[in-house]
Amino acid sequence: MDNYDVIVAGAGLAGCLAAASAAKNGMKVLLLDRNKESEVGKKTNWGWVCGEAVASEHLDFVKSKFNINFKYPEIELKVDGIFALSPDLQHRYRFDGEGYVLDRPSFQHRLLECALASGAEYQQEFEVESPIIENNFVVGLSGKDKAKAHKDLRAKVVIDALGVATALRRKLPENPYVDREVDVSDLEATGRYLYEFDLDHEDLNFFDPKSALIHLDQNIAPGGYGWVFPKEKNMVNIGIGVQMESLNIRNKKLNKKDTLHTLMDEYVKRNPVLKNLRLYNKNNNGKGYWSVAVRRQMESIVFNGYMGAGDSVAMPNPLSAGGIGSAMIAGILAGEHAASAISSKDVSLKGLWKYNVDYNRAYGKKTAGLEVLRVYLQSLNNDTINYGMKTFLTTKEAVDLSYGRVPELSAAAKVKMVLKGASNIGAFNDLLYAVKKMKELNALYTKYPETPEGFAVWRETVESSMKEAKERFKPNPV
Ligand SMILES: Cc1cc2nc3c(=O)[nH]c(=O)nc-3n(C[C@H](O)[C@H](O)[C@H](O)COP(=O)(O)OP(=O)(O)OC[C@H]3O[C@@H](n4cnc5c(N)ncnc54)[C@H](O)[C@@H]3O)c2cc1C
């Protein structure tokens, strides 16, 4: 049996950075992944399935910790911001802020280099199968190495960075801290294609070489959205995410049998400016399908001897499904906190708890509010979204909401709506309710328990608040 301070399972974004930061803090670290080194970070047989867009502040955070200067080829293109377009394309919100479109395979190589340079040991082609549990503590993991030989590996702390389908979190002992399952209504099924193309004509509603485009459309992407992200030269990253419950309702109402795949193909086909599409299939990464959890991160991301980082503990932003930034922040914090708990000789839930508190401060505190906003949006059909973007919400308010800030939408605003003759007052009332709930949940998350003692009561309050919101907002795509 091998002995490490820290085993990091999964060499994706969270995993490489967790290994780098634990090793940098003096720990003996083993980083494991099922892929060959040449394919580090590949999520599934479908490839490095991702929209590849990341805000510059998230790259800055990594740079500030590891002094990495990201450049081409891992960074393909700088974008000025994101536009969200209404279903009828008549209204758009601009979300300012510099960001980048990455080449995920090259980016992963940079992060692996960082882990190795920091002193982590790396074992490729290792399939993680389950945690080793002793006395209600995770004390290591089991799996199969390259030769398919069974191996038990032991460590003081195991960091789970296995992504959304993790074989670790799902096999933790039953416990009141980390959920083992994600509700299916909190998952988005996604498809993403990479194409080279010729531009038929300019139309910034369908392709913008300087901005990321998001299409809100409950018909083509029920319970989710479509995206067109520019890449280098004449390349594009195009995809959709759907909530299966919304898709089923939409199919039933419209008497259709669409699937994620048929909708994805239709979304590509109906784009009038992308012509002569050639699948960019380097490393078999041209077409891929995968899932993203769009709930708040697990209420606790630690258990005895266990820490979760990235998609393994549902960290993507519930509104945008963007999880690159949160995975990188969490990976770095997890490595640092693992090292400090090991140095303090307490890797129990209590000893690791500060990671919960710090991740919450750094990113997690806004996600429960954003989950409410997500279920609210899923309850609107295209007509209401068109109407709402035209009438209800200014760009500033929409931007505030998307960052988890709560704008002042008050009773006075409601009176104004009535005076304006707004006919869709029910949907506006729902928005006011969603905003109130966001406020409530944001306030609860600012009181995230500093120690495990107050956790049970806090969690119950969060869950009952969220339940109320989910009971009010049911998917209603068409
Ligand atoms: C279609 C799509 C589009 C997206 N677009 C964006 C976007 O534009 N911007 C954004 O910010 N986010 C986006 N996301 C989300 C983002 O890709 C993820 O949040 C991010 O990859 C999470 O990183 P991670 O390190 O937690 O997990 P992953 O990237 O999933 O890495 C997990 C690693 O663990 C390995 N692994 C898994 N199981 C095992 C096992 N049993 N044994 C050994 N190794 C294993 C995997 O092979 C992989 O290397 C998108 C996601 C999808 C699916």
pLDDT at site 422: 60
Q: Could you tell me the residue ranges of all domains in the chain?
A: 2-72+103-181+295-364, 184-292, 367-472
pLDDT at site 394: 79
User: What average pLDDT score do residues 422-449 get?
Assistant: 88
* Torsions phi, psi for 188 (to 5 deg): -105, 130
CA distance 101 to 50: 10
Q: Which residues contact 103 (CB under 8 A, 6 or more apart)?
A: 52, 73, 74, 75, 76, 231
**CATH number for the segment(s) 2-72+103-181+295-364:** 3.50.50.60
- Cα(13) to centroid(ligand 1), Å: 7
Question: Does the Cβ of 155 fall within 6 Å of ligand 1?
Answer: no
pLDDT by residue (tens digit) across 228-240? 999 998 999 999 9
Instruction: Count the neighbouring beta carbons within 10 Å of the beta carbon of residue 426.
Output: 9
pLDDT at site 378: 94
Cis peptide before 477 (omega within 30 of 0): no
pLDDT at site 419: 57
Residue 94 — very low, low, confident or very high, per pLDDT cuts 50/70/90?
Answer: confident
User: What average pLDDT score do residues 201-227 get?
Assistant: 96
Contact of 438 with 372, CB cutoff 8 Å: yes
pLDDT at site 420: 64
Q: How much is the mean pLDDT over the chain? A: 94
Per-residue tokens: 198:
């010729």
pLDDT at site 147: 96
Same fold? 2-72+103-181+295-364, 184-292 = no
pLDDT at site 168: 98
DSSP state of 224: S
Side chain identity at 305, as an amino acid letter? G
Nearest to 475 by CA among 159, 254, 249, 320: 249
User: What average pLDDT score do residues 17-41 get?
Assistant: 98
User: What average pLDDT score do residues 113-141 get?
Assistant: 98
Q: Which of 83-97, 321-335, 356-370 has the lowest mean pLDDT?
A: 83-97
Atom of ligand 1 nearest to the CA of 289: 1
CA distance 257 to 245: 13
**Which run of H or of E encompasses 439?**
helix 425-446
Per-residue tokens: 446:
């600012």
Residue 278 — very low, low, confident or very high, per pLDDT cuts 50/70/90?
Answer: very high
- Cα(311) to centroid(ligand 1), Å: 6
CA distance 84 to 402: 11
CA distance 257 to 264: 13
Q: Which residues contact 414 (CB under 8 A, 6 or more apart)?
A: 425, 428, 429, 432
- CA dihedral 298→246→230→207, nearest 10 degrees, is -150
CA 163 to chain centre: 10
User: What average pLDDT score do residues 101-121 get?
Assistant: 97
Question: Does the Cβ of 10 fall within 6 Å of ligand 1?
Answer: yes
Question: Does the Cβ of 42 fall within 6 Å of ligand 1?
Answer: yes
User: What average pLDDT score do residues 232-258 get?
Assistant: 96
Question: Does the Cβ of 316 fall within 6 Å of ligand 1?
Answer: yes
pLDDT at site 403: 78
Residue 412 has pLDDT above 60, yes or no: no
* Torsions phi, psi for 230 (to 5 deg): -70, 145
Question: Does the Cβ of 466 fall within 6 Å of ligand 1?
Answer: no
User: What average pLDDT score do residues 455-475 get?
Assistant: 97
Domain 184-292: top CATH class: alpha beta
**Which run of H or of E encompasses 322?**
none
pLDDT at site 297: 98
pLDDT at site 415: 61
Q: Which runs of consecutive H residues, i.e. helices, occur in 26-157?
A: 56-66, 104-117
CA distance 459 to 441: 11
Contact of 234 with 199, CB cutoff 8 Å: yes
